[in-house]
């Protein structure tokens, strides 16, 4: 062993004892790959006495050896920590390619040497492998020429065999833990599916997917077959990594089939793992979030070849997903698709009791539930939310003059015009009688007023006698999380519009911030 690093050469018995202690130490940490690497590097310094020591691991996916752990005076240098090489390149690359020990006694005279540390004079590279299966390379460097002996080589070959076995054990343990995590996630999604609650099923699916794939942002898009588009139904993300308006940007507009990586996945019914989204033509930028330095997993949600939706996950770092993450994602997506489809079927049955028979709009029951959810979301994330209450000014007159069938046609006409005048993210309902409501997420009072003024014209129709039938509108806004009784405020504003002569918009005062 290098005389500069050790005070004496170890005899064979010393080497055996050191190897036995090393084996014990690494077996104690063999459930964690990082701990195995740290223990190996520490042992080489503290017990074997080597000064500069590095372990590079083979990444089959990228076809590179990359620095995984380092010890010694140069270990904290950026150029050391970021070092990578390919098979056959440099001493470490040649060692990995041939699975042979390489002892460069004078690196200045060895054309294979790739200089990273300037004070290196000699280098010893030992493969970390099991049979023909490459795991990595151990590299030792010394400031002295011809620092590594045949005894060093023999001892380090045995040491690297221990490291290889410990790493295999750690990776097996990690896979087992991941399998257990996937099973737990599957059970969690199945438990919510059994309750046939679509909202909770979606939330369980998106959170389980985020957890199992170790992602930074995960979204479930549901497929709207009538419009051939995908809408965000559930989203979870790490707020430390994304801007404040990230959720608003993600939910901003539906995705047509074929557009972006989500639309591509829906069109082709094919799961995909993208190592670098900035170099793939399919991903689209969301708001101000750059595409650089991110990987993505996108999986279709299919039930008997029927598209239910798409689930997509994003993680910081190029190539940050392992093959196991992709495998787990596809398994979980299959279970999630079944659970979501079952909940959707149940909701479709329930929808019969939530839909107004005359207009086809949601009824008061559905409106109240949706309003509570939107108020909760707006307060939680400090987002704007507005509500519009609309009332026909002419229903009683039309019923009296032309009959109730004509009144029904008037209401159906107002409902159709209302449905066509709002965004896909808005929610409209018939509250009862001649009163309609529109929930406007991510809309402040000024924006709601502009829409309401336009609706005075859009919703005005002619009755059987040609007389103009107008509407009155009351609006209220819940700004930055304030207020808890939005409907009462908007309804009071509507009453004010009626009292002041109808066919106009009146605005309720903004609620104080809660």
Q: What is the CATH number of domain 364-507?
A: 3.30.70.270
Span 61-115, pLDDT tens digits: 888 999 999 998 878 888 888 889 999 999 999 999 999 999 999 988 988 888 7
112 CB-side CA count, 13 A:
19
Global pTM reads 0.47
Model confidence at 303, pLDDT cuts 50, 70, 90, reads: confident
Long-range contacts, 104-110 (Cβ 8 Å, 24+): 105/145, 105/146, 105/147, 105/148, 106/145, 106/146
**Is the predicted pLDDT of residue 382 greater than 90, yes or no?**
no
Is the pLDDT confidence value at 3 over 60?
no
Give residue 48's region: left, alpha or beta (phi > 0; psi -120 to 50). Answer: alpha
Q: What is the pLDDT of residue 512?
A: 41
Task: Indicate whether 22 pLDDT > 80.
Answer: no
Residue spans of beta strands (DSSP E) within 2-110 = 52-59, 64-71, 84-86, 102-104
Q: What is the pLDDT of residue 152?
A: 86
Token pair of 14 as six digits: 């010393």
Distances (CA, A) of 446 to 93, 124, 439, 440: 64, 72, 15, 12
pLDDT of 11 strictly over 60: no
Kindly report the CATH class assigned to 12-173.
alpha beta
Report the pLDDT value the prediction gives residue 4, as an integer from 0 to 100.
39
Amino acid 2: pLDDT: 40
Is the Cβ–Cβ distance between 478 and 375 less than 8 Å? yes
Domain ranges of the chain: 12-173, 195-349, 364-507
Lowest mean pLDDT among 174-183, 242-251, 274-283, 370-379: 174-183
Segment 54-65, tens digit of pLDDT: 999 999 888 899
Inter-residue contact 156 to 66 (CB < 8 Å): no
* Cα gap 277→279, rounded to integer Å: 5
**254-269 mean pLDDT:** 95
Question: So what's the pLDDT on residue 98?
Answer: 94
- Looking at every residue in the chain, the average pLDDT score rounds to 85
Q: Quick one: pLDDT at residue 5?
A: 42
List pLDDT tens digits, range 23-54. 555 555 556 788 888 888 888 887 677 888 99
Mean pLDDT of the 249-254 span: 88
* pLDDT tens readout for residues 107-160: 889 888 887 766 788 999 999 998 888 999 999 999 899 999 888 888 888 888
- Position 277 scores a pLDDT of 94
Q: How much is the pLDDT for 176?
A: 58
pLDDT digits (tens, 9 = 90+) for 172-222: 766 656 665 666 666 666 666 566 778 888 888 999 899 889 999 999 999
Give the C-alpha separation, 139 to 122, whole Å: 11
Which has the minimum average pLDDT: 163-167, 325-329, 411-415, 494-498?
A: 163-167
At 289, give phi and psi (nearest 5°): -85, 120
Question: Is the four-CA dihedral 338, 341, 345, 350 of positive or negative sign?
Answer: positive
Q: Is 65 left (phi over 0), alpha (psi -120 to 50) or beta?
A: beta
Per-residue pLDDT, 197: 77
pLDDT at 6: 41
Which strands make up the sheet holding 306-316, listed edge to edge? Answer: 255-256, 229-237, 217-224, 306-316, 294-303, 272-274
Count of positions (residues) in the chain: 514
Task: Read off the pLDDT of each residue in 355-362 and give the average, rounded to a whole number.
Answer: 88
Fold type of domain 195-349: Beta-Lactamase (3.30.450)
Q: How many CA atoms lie within 13 A of 464 on its CB side?
A: 14
- Per-residue pLDDT at 315 exceeds 80: yes
Query: How far is the C-alpha of 355 from the C-alpha of 365, rounded, in Å?
Result: 9
Query: Which residues are identified as catalytic?
Result: 434
- Do 195-349 and 12-173 fall under one CATH topology? yes
pLDDT at position 243: 92
pLDDT value for 119: 77
């Amino acid at each position: 062993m290098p005389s500069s690093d050790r005070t004496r050469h170890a005899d064979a018995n010393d080497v055996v004892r050191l190897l036995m202690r090393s084996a014990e130490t690494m077996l104690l940490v063999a459930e964690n790959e990082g701990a195995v690497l740290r223990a190996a590097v520490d042992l080489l310094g503290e017990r074997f006495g080597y000064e500069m020591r590095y372990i590079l691991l083979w990444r089959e996916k990228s076809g590179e050896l990359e620095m995984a752990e380092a010890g010694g005076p140069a270990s904290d240098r950026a150029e050391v920590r970021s070092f990578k090489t390919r098979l056959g390149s440099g001493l470490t690359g040649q060692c990995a390619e041939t699975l042979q020990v390489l002892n460069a006694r004078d690196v200045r005279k060895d054309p294979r040497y790739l200089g990273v540390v300037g004070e290196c004079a000699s280098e010893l590279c030992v493969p970390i492998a099991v049979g023909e299966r490459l795991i990595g390379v151990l590299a030792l460097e010394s400031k002295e020429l011809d620092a590594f002996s045949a005894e060093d080589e023999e001892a380090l070959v045995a040491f690297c065999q221990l490291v290889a076995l410990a790493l295999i054990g750690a990776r097996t343990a990690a896979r087992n833990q991941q399998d257990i995590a996937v099973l737990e996630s599957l059970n969690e999604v199945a438990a919510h599916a059994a309750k046939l609650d679509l909202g909770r099923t979606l939330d369980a699916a998106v959170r389980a997917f985020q957890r199992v794939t170790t992602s930074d942002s995960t979204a479930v898009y549901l497929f709207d077959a009538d419009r051939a588009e995908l809408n965000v139904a559930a989203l979870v993300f790490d707020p430390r990594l994304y801007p404040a308006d990230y959720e608003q940007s993600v939910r901003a507009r539906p995705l047509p089939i074929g557009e972006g990586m989500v639309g591509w996945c829906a069109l082709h019914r094919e799961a995909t793992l993208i190592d670098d989204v900035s170099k793939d033509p399919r991903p689209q930028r969301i708001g101000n979030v750059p595409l650089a330095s991110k990987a993505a997993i996108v999986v279709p949600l299919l039930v008997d070849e029927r598209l239910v939706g798409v689930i997509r996950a994003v993680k910081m770092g190029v190539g940050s997903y392992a093959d196991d993450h992709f495998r787990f994602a596809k398994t979980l997506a299959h279970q999630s698709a079944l659970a979501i489809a079952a909940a959707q079927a149940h909701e479709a049955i329930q929808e019969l009791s939530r839909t107004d028979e005359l207009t086809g709009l949601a009824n008061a029951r559905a409106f109240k539930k949706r309003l509570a959810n939107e108020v909760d979301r707006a307060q939680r994330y400090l987002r704007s939310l507005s509500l519009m209450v609309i009332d026909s000014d002419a229903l009683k007159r039309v019923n009296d003059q032309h009959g109730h069938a004509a009144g029904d046609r008037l209401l159906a006409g107002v409902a159709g015009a209302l449905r066509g005048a709002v965004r896909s993210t808005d929610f409209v309902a018939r509250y009862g009688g001649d009163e309609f409501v529109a929930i406007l997420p991510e809309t402040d009072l000024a924006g709601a007023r502009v829409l309401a003024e336009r609706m005075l014209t859009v919703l005005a129709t002619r009755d059987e006698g040609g007389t103009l039938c107008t509407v009155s509108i009351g609006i209220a806004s819940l700004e930055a999380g304030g207020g808890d009784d939005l409907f009462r405020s908007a309804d009071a504003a509507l009453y004010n519009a009626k009292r002041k002569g109808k066919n106009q918009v009146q605005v309720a005062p903004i609620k104080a911030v809660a």
